[in-house]
Chains A and B, each alone.
Chain A
Amino acid sequence: MDWGAIFSNSVVWIINPETIAYALATVGLAIHFGYGGLLNFGQAGFMALGAYGYAISILTFGFPWWAGILVGIAASVVFALILGIPTLRLRADYLAIATIALAETVRLLFQTTAFDAVTNSADGLGGYHESFRAANPIPKGTYGFGPFTYNETDWWVRIFGIFLLAVALLITWLLMRSPWGRVLKGIREDEDAVRALGKNVFSYKMQALILGGVFGSLGGVVFALPSAVIPGAYVPSLTFFLWTVLLLGGAATIFGPVVGSVLFWVIMAFLSNLLPRMVEAGLLPFMSNQQANIMRFVLIGLALMLIVIYRPQGLLGNKKELTFNAR
C-alpha cells in the first residue's frame, strides 16, 4: 500500500474549501446550539441560500462577486426571520423538525423546474467564477510545498475562505465573552428564568439565529467558490454532517468547529483512500470498492452516536459545561 499517497491525499483536506466551508457553517451552528441552545436542523438551508444567492446574483443579475456574497448574506437574514418567527417559541424537538422542514422547502424550491430559468433546477449552477478570480491579487503561478501545492486560483479561494472563517471566529469570541453572550447562554439554560430577569428572549434568539445563519450562508459561499452549486448537496444529511462536526469538536467552544471540520474531512479522505486500497489488497474480502465507500457513511453515523453518548462535550469542550439539558 502506498502510505505516502494515502497520507498526503488526506492531509490536503486540512485547508480544502469544503473543510473551511464546513467549519464556517458549524461556527454558525455553535452559536445556535452550543451557546443559544437552539436546535437548528436547517443549517443546510442557510448554506444553500448563501451559495445560490452568490451564484444567481452573478449569473442572472451580473453583480460583482462581493455583491453576490452580500446578497447571500441578505438572503440568509431574511430566511432567519422567516424561520425564526414561527419556530423560536417552540419546544426543542418541534424546533428541530420545523427547521428541517423549512430548509427542505428551500432546497425543493431551488430544485424545482418551475424556476429553471434562474436556478437551472436539478443540474445546478456553474460558471460564475470570473469576477471572483479577477479580483485575485496573487500573481499567476503555483505555490506551496508537498501536498499543499496549488495554483493562484486555488490559493485565492482558500485564503479568502480562511479570512472569512477568522472573522467569524473573532466575532464569536468577542460576543461570547460579553454580556450579550451571557444572556444567550442563560437562554440556553432556561429561557423562562432569563425572561423573568427582563431580557427579551425572542429578540436574543433571533439575533443568534441570524448571526449563525449568516455564518452558514458564508459557508455556502465558500462551498460554491471553487466549483458549482448543486441542489442535491443541500440535503438534510449535510446538516447532520455539520452536527457531527460540531459535536466532534465541542458545541460550546470557539475552535471546536474548526477542529471538528478538519478531523471530519481528513478522516473521511483517509478512509476513502485507505479502504479501496485495502479492498484491492484483499484485506476486506467481503467488500467491493463501492461498498468500501459506503462504509464511510456508516462510520459517520456510528461516530455521531458514540460522541453524543460518550463525549457530549466534544474534544475541546469542558466536561462541566455540557450543552445538553433536558427540556
Chain B
Amino acid sequence: MPADTNTTRSTGLHVGEIRPGVPKVDPIIVADNVTRSFGGLKAVDVDHVEIPRNAITALIGPNGAGKTTFFNLLTGFDKPDTGEWSFDGTSISGVPAFKTSRMGQVRTFQLTKSLAMLSVLENMKLGAKGQSGERFFTAMLPWLWRKQDDEIEQKALELLKRFKLDTKQDDFAASLSGGQRKLLEMARALMSDPTLVMLDEPMAGVNPALTQSLLDHILGLKADGMTVLFVEHDMQMVRHISDWVIVMAEGRIVAEGPPDDVMKNTAVIDAYLGSHMDTDLGVVTGRIETVATPKKEKKS
C-alpha cells in the first residue's frame, strides 16, 4: 500500500521569483496564451502556466473560475480560441482527446462518468491501453486476445482491491454510490499507467473515512513516478497533499506557489472571499476543523 511511501513534499519546483506563470525546473505541461470564451464570457484566459513533473499540483479557484474549462482545453475535449500547449515536450494543442490520453495524460470528470450499464470490472478493463481485442478483425478471434484480456483482468482486480471496490466487481456501475463512482473513475484512469493524472474534484462526494485513503492513493501515484494535477475546493486537502498550488479566478491565473504561501496570498483571499483579508482561508470556509466536508456534486 502506498500510504507509507514517499509522502514528503516536493520543494524547489520553480525557477526564480514566485509569480503567476513562473517557470518550473522540470515542467510536464507548458501552456501559453490559452483563451476560450463562451459568448461574451472569457472563461479561460491563461497567459502562461507550467505544471511541474512528478509533483502534485492543485488547481483551485472559486466556482466558475474556468478550472474545468481549462482541463477540457488541455485534454482536447474543447477547442480554444487561441493558445499553444505542450505535454512532455510535444505540442498537443489541437490534438484530439483520445490521443492525448494515449500519450499518457489521463483525466477524470467533475460530473462522474461511470459507464452505467457495464459491470465494474468491464469499466476497469476498458481503461487498459493497447488491447489487441479492441481491433475489429482480431476481436472476432478470441484466441488472439484471450491471454492479454486475462492479464488486464488481473491488474484490474488488484486496482479494485486497492480502491475497496473488489466486492462490487460484477455489479453494474449504475448500482454504485456517487462516491464509489468517483473511485471507480479514478481507478479506471489508472488502468492505462498514465504519466499525468488530471482529476477534476476527485473528493467531491467521497466520505471522510475514504478521503484519507484516497489522499494516500494520490500520494502513492506520485511515489510511483506519476504527476498529478487536481481541482479541489477543499483547502484542507489541498494543503495536505499538494506540492504546488495554482489559483484561477475569472479565467486567469492569479497566483501560484507552495500551498502555505498561496493560502496567505491576498490575491487568493480576494478571489475566494472578497473582503475577509486577514482571516485564514480555512477558518472562513469553516473547513479547517473537519477533515473534509462531503459536498454534493454540483452541476455547473
Contact = CB atoms under 8 A, between A and B. Distances in A.
Contacts of A207: 136
B227 interface: no
Contacts of A192: 77, 97, 109, 113
Interface in B107-137: 107-109, 113-118, 122-123, 125-127, 129, 131, 133-136
Given A195-B98, A197-B126, A197-B192, A185 B118 contact: yes
Interface in A149-165: none
Chain B interface: which size bin? 35 or more
B16 interface: no
B244 to A, nearest CB: 24
A166 to B, nearest CB: 15
Contacts of A325: 116-117
B166 interface: no
Contacts of B77: 192, 195-196
A179 B131 contact: yes
Interface in B60-97: 75, 77, 96-97
Interface in A167-200: 171, 174-175, 177-183, 185-186, 188-190, 192-200
B175 to A, nearest CB: 8
B116 A174 contact: no
A177 B136 CA distance: 12
B145 A196 contact: no
A322 B117 CA distance: 8
A201 interface: yes
B170 to A, nearest CB: 12
B149 A179 contact: yes
Given A174-B142, A179-B145, A196 B118 contact: no
A178 B118 contact: no
B277 interface: no
Given A194-B126, A199-B98, A171 B189 contact: no
Contacts of B96: 195
Nearest to B140: A174
B134 A199 contact: yes
Interface in B155-211: 172, 174, 185, 188-189, 191-192
B102 interface: yes
Contacts of A183: 126, 134
B129 A180 contact: no
Nearest to B145: A179
B122 A197 contact: no
A196 B101 contact: yes
A178 B139 contact: yes
A320 interface: yes
A180 B201 CA distance: 30
Given A189-B115, A197-B127, 5 more contacts: A190-B114, A193-B115, A198-B99, A198-B129, A322-B117
Interface of A: 171, 174-175, 177-183, 185-186, 188-190, 192-201, 207, 320-323, 325
19 contacts: A180-B134, A182-B125, A182-B134, A185-B117, A192-B97, A192-B113, A193-B185, A195-B77, A195-B98, A196-B75, A196-B109, A197-B101, A198-B101, A198-B192, A199-B98, A199-B134, A322-B117, A325-B116, A325-B117
